[in-house]
Amino acid sequence: MGNRVWLVTGASRGIGAEIAKAVLATGDTLIAAARTPSTLAFLGSSDRLLPVRLDVTDSVQAADAVAAGIERFGQIDILVNNAGISFLGAVEETSADDVKRLFETNVFGLLNVTRAVLPHMRGRRRGHIVNIASVAGYSGYAGFGVYSGTKFAVEGLSEALQLELAPLGVNVTIVEPGFFRTDIL
Protein backbone atom coordinates (compact mmCIF):
# COMPACT_ATOMS: atom_id res chain seq x y z
CA MET A 1 0.00 0.00 0.00
CA GLY A 2 0.96 3.63 -0.12
CA ASN A 3 1.81 3.93 -3.80
CA ARG A 4 -1.51 4.10 -5.65
CA VAL A 5 -3.09 7.33 -6.88
CA TRP A 6 -6.87 7.57 -6.54
CA LEU A 7 -9.26 10.06 -8.14
CA VAL A 8 -12.50 10.18 -6.16
CA THR A 9 -15.41 12.26 -7.44
CA GLY A 10 -17.98 13.62 -5.00
CA ALA A 11 -15.34 13.42 -2.26
CA SER A 12 -16.83 16.14 -0.08
CA ARG A 13 -19.53 14.09 1.64
CA GLY A 14 -21.25 10.73 2.01
CA ILE A 15 -19.61 7.66 0.52
CA GLY A 16 -17.06 9.78 -1.33
CA ALA A 17 -15.84 11.44 1.87
CA GLU A 18 -15.47 8.07 3.58
CA ILE A 19 -13.54 6.65 0.62
CA ALA A 20 -11.31 9.74 0.56
CA LYS A 21 -10.49 9.40 4.27
CA ALA A 22 -9.76 5.68 3.84
CA VAL A 23 -7.44 6.30 0.87
CA LEU A 24 -5.35 8.76 2.87
CA ALA A 25 -5.38 6.48 5.93
CA THR A 26 -3.81 3.65 3.89
CA GLY A 27 -0.95 5.90 2.78
CA ASP A 28 -2.16 6.10 -0.80
CA THR A 29 -2.39 9.35 -2.75
CA LEU A 30 -5.68 11.14 -3.39
CA ILE A 31 -7.04 13.50 -5.98
CA ALA A 32 -10.21 14.59 -4.19
CA ALA A 33 -12.80 16.09 -6.50
CA ALA A 34 -15.72 18.28 -5.46
CA ARG A 35 -17.76 21.06 -7.05
CA THR A 36 -16.47 23.33 -4.27
CA PRO A 37 -12.93 22.36 -3.22
CA SER A 38 -13.20 24.25 0.09
CA THR A 39 -15.65 21.54 1.21
CA LEU A 40 -12.70 19.14 1.24
CA ALA A 41 -10.98 20.94 4.15
CA PHE A 42 -11.87 18.05 6.48
CA LEU A 43 -9.21 15.99 4.66
CA GLY A 44 -6.47 18.27 5.96
CA SER A 45 -3.31 19.07 4.09
CA SER A 46 -0.80 16.60 2.74
CA ASP A 47 1.65 16.18 -0.10
CA ARG A 48 -0.44 13.08 -0.94
CA LEU A 49 -3.63 15.14 -1.41
CA LEU A 50 -4.73 17.29 -4.33
CA PRO A 51 -8.18 18.86 -3.99
CA VAL A 52 -9.65 19.73 -7.40
CA ARG A 53 -12.74 21.54 -8.60
CA LEU A 54 -14.98 19.19 -10.53
CA ASP A 55 -18.59 19.42 -11.55
CA VAL A 56 -18.83 16.07 -13.34
CA THR A 57 -21.40 17.46 -15.77
CA ASP A 58 -18.65 19.67 -17.23
CA SER A 59 -16.37 17.66 -19.53
CA VAL A 60 -13.76 20.44 -19.55
CA GLN A 61 -13.54 20.38 -15.74
CA ALA A 62 -13.24 16.58 -15.90
CA ALA A 63 -10.32 16.82 -18.33
CA ASP A 64 -8.71 19.58 -16.22
CA ALA A 65 -9.04 17.57 -12.99
CA VAL A 66 -7.46 14.50 -14.58
CA ALA A 67 -4.66 16.58 -16.12
CA ALA A 68 -3.93 18.30 -12.79
CA GLY A 69 -3.73 14.95 -11.03
CA ILE A 70 -1.41 13.44 -13.62
CA GLU A 71 0.76 16.57 -13.65
CA ARG A 72 1.10 16.47 -9.85
CA PHE A 73 1.41 12.72 -9.24
CA GLY A 74 2.37 11.28 -12.64
CA GLN A 75 -0.45 8.74 -12.75
CA ILE A 76 -3.99 7.80 -11.80
CA ASP A 77 -4.38 4.17 -10.79
CA ILE A 78 -7.96 4.11 -9.51
CA LEU A 79 -10.94 6.21 -10.50
CA VAL A 80 -13.94 6.14 -8.18
CA ASN A 81 -16.97 7.58 -9.95
CA ASN A 82 -18.96 8.43 -6.86
CA ALA A 83 -20.50 11.84 -7.55
CA GLY A 84 -24.24 11.58 -7.85
CA ILE A 85 -27.59 13.05 -6.94
CA SER A 86 -30.96 11.56 -6.15
CA PHE A 87 -34.58 12.51 -6.54
CA LEU A 88 -37.61 11.31 -4.65
CA GLY A 89 -40.84 11.31 -6.64
CA ALA A 90 -43.09 9.28 -8.86
CA VAL A 91 -41.94 8.92 -12.45
CA GLU A 92 -45.01 10.70 -13.85
CA GLU A 93 -44.51 13.62 -11.47
CA THR A 94 -40.83 14.10 -12.25
CA SER A 95 -40.25 17.09 -14.51
CA ALA A 96 -38.21 16.81 -17.67
CA ASP A 97 -35.67 19.19 -16.13
CA ASP A 98 -35.27 16.97 -13.06
CA VAL A 99 -34.87 13.87 -15.23
CA LYS A 100 -32.25 15.66 -17.32
CA ARG A 101 -30.37 16.86 -14.23
CA LEU A 102 -30.24 13.32 -12.78
CA PHE A 103 -29.01 11.73 -15.99
CA GLU A 104 -26.49 14.55 -16.63
CA THR A 105 -24.93 13.98 -13.22
CA ASN A 106 -25.29 10.26 -12.59
CA VAL A 107 -24.70 8.95 -16.11
CA PHE A 108 -23.18 11.59 -18.37
CA GLY A 109 -21.02 12.92 -15.53
CA LEU A 110 -19.64 9.45 -14.88
CA LEU A 111 -18.91 9.15 -18.61
CA ASN A 112 -17.17 12.57 -18.70
CA VAL A 113 -14.72 11.59 -15.98
CA THR A 114 -14.23 8.07 -17.33
CA ARG A 115 -13.48 9.35 -20.83
CA ALA A 116 -11.03 11.88 -19.38
CA VAL A 117 -9.02 9.25 -17.49
CA LEU A 118 -9.16 6.34 -19.94
CA PRO A 119 -6.47 7.50 -22.40
CA HIS A 120 -4.05 7.63 -19.47
CA MET A 121 -5.02 4.19 -18.14
CA ARG A 122 -4.99 2.63 -21.62
CA GLY A 123 -1.57 4.14 -22.27
CA ARG A 124 -0.21 2.58 -19.07
CA ARG A 125 -2.17 -0.64 -19.76
CA ARG A 126 -3.43 -0.69 -16.20
CA GLY A 127 -5.96 0.92 -13.95
CA HIS A 128 -9.18 0.34 -12.12
CA ILE A 129 -12.49 2.15 -12.46
CA VAL A 130 -14.96 1.81 -9.60
CA ASN A 131 -18.47 2.97 -10.44
CA ILE A 132 -20.76 3.60 -7.51
CA ALA A 133 -24.21 2.44 -8.58
CA SER A 134 -26.92 1.42 -6.13
CA VAL A 135 -29.20 -1.42 -5.24
CA ALA A 136 -31.68 0.80 -7.11
CA GLY A 137 -29.76 -0.12 -10.27
CA TYR A 138 -30.51 -3.75 -9.60
CA SER A 139 -34.20 -3.34 -8.82
CA GLY A 140 -36.53 -0.38 -9.25
CA TYR A 141 -38.29 1.16 -6.25
CA ALA A 142 -41.47 3.23 -6.10
CA GLY A 143 -40.59 6.89 -5.72
CA PHE A 144 -37.08 6.34 -7.10
CA GLY A 145 -37.89 5.39 -10.70
CA VAL A 146 -35.79 8.04 -12.43
CA TYR A 147 -32.91 7.59 -9.97
CA SER A 148 -33.16 3.82 -10.58
CA GLY A 149 -33.04 4.50 -14.31
CA THR A 150 -29.73 6.32 -13.93
CA LYS A 151 -28.27 3.53 -11.83
CA PHE A 152 -29.47 0.85 -14.28
CA ALA A 153 -27.60 2.85 -16.93
CA VAL A 154 -24.45 2.88 -14.77
CA GLU A 155 -24.75 -0.89 -14.40
CA GLY A 156 -25.03 -1.52 -18.14
CA LEU A 157 -22.26 0.92 -19.04
CA SER A 158 -19.97 -0.60 -16.42
CA GLU A 159 -20.56 -4.16 -17.58
CA ALA A 160 -19.79 -3.17 -21.19
CA LEU A 161 -16.72 -1.16 -20.11
CA GLN A 162 -15.33 -4.18 -18.27
CA LEU A 163 -15.57 -6.25 -21.45
CA GLU A 164 -13.99 -3.49 -23.55
CA LEU A 165 -11.18 -2.63 -21.15
CA ALA A 166 -10.11 -5.95 -19.61
CA PRO A 167 -7.90 -6.84 -22.61
CA LEU A 168 -6.17 -3.48 -22.10
CA GLY A 169 -5.34 -4.12 -18.44
CA VAL A 170 -8.05 -1.84 -17.05
CA ASN A 171 -10.71 -3.30 -14.76
CA VAL A 172 -14.16 -2.02 -13.88
CA THR A 173 -16.01 -2.73 -10.64
CA ILE A 174 -19.62 -1.85 -9.86
CA VAL A 175 -20.49 -1.10 -6.23
CA GLU A 176 -24.20 -1.40 -5.38
CA PRO A 177 -24.79 0.03 -1.90
CA GLY A 178 -28.10 -0.69 -0.24
CA PHE A 179 -30.15 1.68 1.85
CA PHE A 180 -28.32 3.70 4.48
CA ARG A 181 -28.29 7.29 5.61
CA THR A 182 -26.38 9.86 3.62
CA ASP A 183 -27.42 13.35 2.61
CA ILE A 184 -27.88 12.44 -1.08
CA LEU A 185 -31.55 13.46 -0.91
**Whole-angstrom distance, CA of residue 113 vs CA of residue 7:** 10
Across 112-130, b (16+ Cβ under 10 Å) vs e yields bbbebbbebbeeeeebbbb
pLDDT tens profile 21-64: 999 999 999 999 999 999 999 999 999 999 999 999 999 999 99
Q: What is the DSSP letter of 113?
A: H
* Average pLDDT of the segment spanning 95-114: 96
- The yes-or-no answer on residue 147 being catalytic is yes
CA proximity to 73, closest of 165, 12, 122, 2: 2
Give the pLDDT confidence score for residue 165 in this predicted structure: 97
Q: Is residue 64 exposed (0-12), middle (13-18) or buried (19+ Cβ within 10 Å)?
A: middle
CB atoms near residue 75 (< 10 Å): 15
Give strand pairing partners of 127.
170
In contact, 154 and 102? CB cutoff 8 Å: no
pLDDT of res. 37: 96
With bands split at pLDDT 50, 70 and 90, how would you rate the model's confidence at 141?
confident
Q: Which one is catalytic: 62, 147, 157, 172?
A: 147
